[in-house]
Every structure is written in structure tokens, then in C-alpha cells.
């Protein structure tokens, strides 16, 4: 039986085809998503595959930036999933799948630590066996998200709480409406406002955030929705990514905290729009903050567990959370 081996590749088309067939397939792994980050943050990307003969077992694409003579890899902003991606094992024996996944993780780990001093992977929720990461000394944190089945959309409405339905109807009665836009300028502004209302300082300046979001829109990987009131003012905004038949909740903002029904109505109208376009699943991309989790829970999605795993070398271990 052929043994596994590491192979570095500069074939981005091969990477794109591989992730399309993977159970971990998502927009955050795509070249259309990663290219704007490379340009704005001056990053380099390296594709590494684990091969078995002519077959690809696993792969990873790494954005690397040098900081203070150390090479670090931290998750890109608004990127909910990253890290190792596996082939679709389909009907293969479970024992073989476990062995090849664990061996792939080990081989990629040995390869990565030669070049990178600190890295974080936000694993997809389909990767639930994280024992190999624990055996290798990674720090492991659980993460949660809600994944909502949109087929049929009428059933989504039926399963929502009465209080949420009342908020949506109230928003409609006062003349709220939702529009799509090719500009993410207001989305960037409202994202910063929403974040800084919690007391923190947003990690990107307005111009850089605006440029990033607009580049993602231009690449076709981000769609922007605005909620407009009866006076034509934008009260809330949301950026959504479409990948195959799945939608992903990427970034959001509000003009004012007291606009209680605005975000509820905006999300519902987005779900309706996605459903009419054949999107069957919506990932809310995060439910770990109590207030945010309660908001997303009201739409009735299934709670999914995933893991964030991180590894640090040398002195960086003392700064690892």
C-alpha cells in the first residue's frame, strides 16, 4: 500500500477543485476569498497537499506574514473556517479514514512547524475527531454556530418564536425594506460602530476595512444587504457569502443599538431571498457570545460544535491563550 507524502503545489486550480469535493468546502478556502486579503495585507499563500500515490488525501492553504522575525499565522478577519481540509472518504472503511486523517494531520504539522512559529486553525464543524491535535500538544477550544435548513422556507417561519415573528411584522408595518448593494462602504462603517459600542477598538481602520469588503464584493464572494427605513436611511447592514447551495453570515452592523427590530427583519428577508435562489442551508458563523447566540438561536437553526486549535513554538507558548 502506498504511503502518504507531503507535496507543495503552486497549482491554484487544483486547490480550487479539491476544496469543491471536500466535506469541509466553504468560501473561506476559496481563491476569490483569499486574494483580496493577500493584496490588502501583503500576504503570501502556500498550498500543501498530502498525497497517496496519485490521490489527494488532505490539503491546506496557508497565508503567512512575517512579524518581528517570527512567522505567525492567525485567522484572517471574518474568516470563520480555515485549516486542514480532507477528501470525501464516502463509503471507505471508518478505520482507514481515521488512520489517514490522523497521519495527514501529523505530516502537515511537521511540515508547518518548520516554517511557522505560531498558528491557529478554526476547523470546520465536520471535523470532530481532534485527538491528533491534542496528542501533538495543540490548545483546543470549542466553538459553536447555528446552521439553518432553508428548505422549505415556510417551515423556517413556522418554527420561529412568536416574539420574533412579531418583530418582523412590526418592521414591515413601519415601512422597513431591504436592498442589495454593490458597495460595502456603509457596511464597513456600521460594523465598526457596532463593535466599538461594546467598548473595544476595532482592529482595522475604516479605509482598510472598506477596501477589504469592497474587494470581496468585487470578487463575487460577498453580497451586501441594507435595511432601509421609511425615510430612506440605512439602519442595519449585513454581508453574506454564497458557496454552492449554502449561505454564510459574514459581517454585520447597525447604526444605532436601539433599532431592535432592524436586524431581525434584515436577517429574515435575507433568508427569504436566499431560499428563492435555491440556497438550502445557512451558517450563522458563530454563536459563542451570549447576546449574539440568543439572537441567532431565534431563527431555529441546529447547534453545531467545532474546534479552534492553536500551536506555538518556543517563547510564543507563554503568550498562547
* Tens of pLDDT, residue by residue, the chain (321 residues): 469 999 999 999 999 999 999 999 999 999 999 999 999 988 888 999 999 999 999 999 998 765 655 577 778 999 999 999 999 998 889 999 999 999 999 999 999 999 888 999 999 999 999 999 999 999 999 999 999 999 999 999 999 989 999 999 999 999 999 999 999 999 999 999 989 988 888 989 999 999 999 999 999 999 999 999 999 999 999 999 999 999 999 999 998 765 668 899 999 999 999 999 999 999 999 999 999 999 999 999 999 999 999 999 876 666 666
The pLDDT value given to residue 305? 98
**In CATH terms, is domain 4-142+306-319 a member of 3.90.380.10?**
no
Sequence spans of domains, the chain: 4-142+306-319, 151-279
pLDDT of residue 74: 77
pLDDT attached to residue 1:
47
pLDDT at 256: 78
What whole-number distance in Å separates Cα of residue 123 and Cα of residue 307?
6
pTM value? Answer: 0.93
Q: What nine digits make up the cell of 301?
A: 437553526
pLDDT at 67: 60
What homologous superfamily does CATH list for 151-279?
Gcn5-related N-acetyltransferase (GNAT) (3.40.630.30)
- Judge whether 4-142+306-319 and 151-279 match in fold: yes
Amino acid at each position: 500500500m502506498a504511503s502518504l507524502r507531503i507535496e507543495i503545489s503552486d497549482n491554484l486550480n487544483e486547490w480550487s477543485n479539491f476544496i469543491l469535493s471536500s466535506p469541509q468546502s466553504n468560501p473561506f478556502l476559496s481563491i476569490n476569498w483569499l486574494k483580496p486579503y493577500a493584496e490588502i495585507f501583503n500576504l503570501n499563500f502556500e498550498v500543501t497537499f498530502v498525497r497517496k500515490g496519485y490521490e489527494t488525501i488532505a490539503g491546506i492553504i496557508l497565508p503567512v506574514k512575517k512579524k518581528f522575525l517570527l512567522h505567525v499565522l492567525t485567522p484572517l478577519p471574518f474568516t470563520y473556517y480555515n485549516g486542514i481540509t480532507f477528501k470525501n472518504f464516502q463509503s471507505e472503511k471508518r478505520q482507514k479514514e481515521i488512520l489517514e486523517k490522523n497521519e495527514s494531520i501529523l505530516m502537515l504539522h511537521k511540515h508547518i512547524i518548520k516554517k511557522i512559529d505560531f498558528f491557529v486553525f478554526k476547523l470546520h464543524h465536520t471535523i470532530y475527531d481532534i485527538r491528533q491535535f491534542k496528542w501533538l500538544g495543540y490548545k483546543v477550544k470549542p466553538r459553536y454556530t447555528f446552521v439553518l435548513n432553508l428548505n422549505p422556507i415556510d417551515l423556517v417561519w413556522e418554527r420561529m418564536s412568536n416574539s420574533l415573528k412579531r418583530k418582523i411584522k412590526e418592521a414591515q408595518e413601519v415601512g422597513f425594506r431591504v436592498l442589495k448593494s454593490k458597495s460595502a462602504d456603509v457596511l464597513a462603517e456600521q460594523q465598526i460602530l457596532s463593535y466599538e459600542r461594546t467598548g473595544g477598538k476595532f482592529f482595522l481602520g475604516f479605509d482598510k476595512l472598506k477596501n477589504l469588503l469592497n474587494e470581496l464584493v468585487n470578487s463575487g464572494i460577498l453580497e451586501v444587504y441594507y435595511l432601509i427605513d421609511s425615510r430612506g436611511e440605512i439602519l442595519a447592514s449585513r454581508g453574506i457569502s454564497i458557496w454552492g447551495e449554502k449561505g454564510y453570515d459574514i459581517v454585520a452592523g447597525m447604526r444605532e443599538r436601539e433599532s431592535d427590530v432592524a436586524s431581525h427583519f434584515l436577517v429574515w428577508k435575507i433568508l427569504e431571498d436566499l431560499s428563492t435562489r435555491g440556497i438550502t442551508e445557512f451558517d450563522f458563523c458563530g454563536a459563542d457570545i451570549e447576546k449574539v447566540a440568543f439572537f441567532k438561536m431565534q431563527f431555529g437553526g441546529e447547534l453545531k460544535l467545532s474546534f479552534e486549535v492553536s500551536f506555538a513554538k518556543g517563547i510564543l507558548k507563554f503568550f498562547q491563550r
